[in-house]
């Protein structure tokens, strides 16, 4: 099975990145975690992106805050999922716009501000297209979510019935 790369622009993004790392672990996906800044070490970031496919990755999750160019810089050949990180003065709006507003032809699938768990689930969904086992695990998680909401609904209806 191919790996997923979790790349962050700074170790200050690690608390957000850990949500993705944990979710990928729950699905049994091998993960490589790196700190590579599009601004502070552009050469190393570019090299990683250029060789990611031949290094055995399926897709790249890129997390960055502020003027967040990391996800765009990672967009070479593999699908890139961008996670805009909050924590700076603009609450992540700067990172959201920097990550999502890619030019035509160079996509970055951008999730919500600090949405690292969804980034991991999207990575699993990409891999599940050609992996039945992962597809079943994803469906089981969806079924659990449905059951939890229906249980909560039943409890509320019972508590507030006239
Ligand atoms: C971005 O700048 C990083 O992704 C981080 O979110 C933000 C601040 O970085 P540090 O100054 O905390 O290293 O490049």
Q: Looking at residue 76, what is its pLDDT?
A: 87
CA of 37 from ligand 1 middle (Å) equals 8
Contact 61, 92 (CB under 8 A): no
Query: Which of 8, 9, 14 for mutating ligand 1's site (highest number of atoms within 8 Å of CB)?
Result: 9
pLDDT-derived band at 126 (thresholds 50, 70, 90) equals very high
Q: How far is CA 84 from the centre of its chain?
A: 10
**87 closest CA partner among 8, 38, 16:** 16
Proportion of the chain above pLDDT 70, given as a percent = 100
**52 closest CA partner among 121, 115, 5:** 5
Q: What is the pLDDT of residues 56-109, one digit of tens each?
A: 999 999 999 999 999 999 998 899 999 999 987 899 999 999 999 999 999 999
Q: Looking at residue 109, what is its pLDDT?
A: 98
Predicted confidence (pLDDT) at residue 129 exceeds the cutoff of 90 = yes
37 CB near ligand 1 (under 6 Å): yes
Ligand 1 atom at minimal distance to the Cα of residue 8: 4
Ligand 1 atom at minimal distance to the Cα of residue 13: 6
9 CB near ligand 1 (under 6 Å): yes
């Amino acid at each position: 099975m191919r790996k997923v790369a979790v790349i962050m622009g700074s170790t200050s993004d690690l608390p957000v990145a850990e949500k993705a790392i944990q979710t990928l672990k729950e699905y049994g996906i091998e993960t490589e975690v790196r700190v590579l800044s599009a601004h502070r070490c552009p050469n190393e970031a570019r090299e990683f992106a250029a060789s990611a496919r031949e290094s055995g990755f399926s897709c790249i999750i890129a997390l960055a805050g502020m003027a967040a160019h990391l996800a765009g810089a990672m967009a070479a050949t593999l699908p890139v999922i961008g996670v805009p990180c909050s924590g700076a003065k603009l609450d992540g709006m700067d990172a959201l716009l920097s990550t999502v507003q890619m030019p035509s032809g160079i996509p970055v699938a951008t999730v919500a501000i600090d949405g690292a768990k969804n980034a991991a689930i999207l990575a699993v969904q990409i891999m599940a297209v050609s992996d039945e086992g992962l597809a079943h695990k994803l469906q089981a998680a969806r079924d659990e979510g449905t059951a939890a909401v229906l249980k909560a609904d039943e409890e509320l209806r019972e508590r507030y019935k006239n």
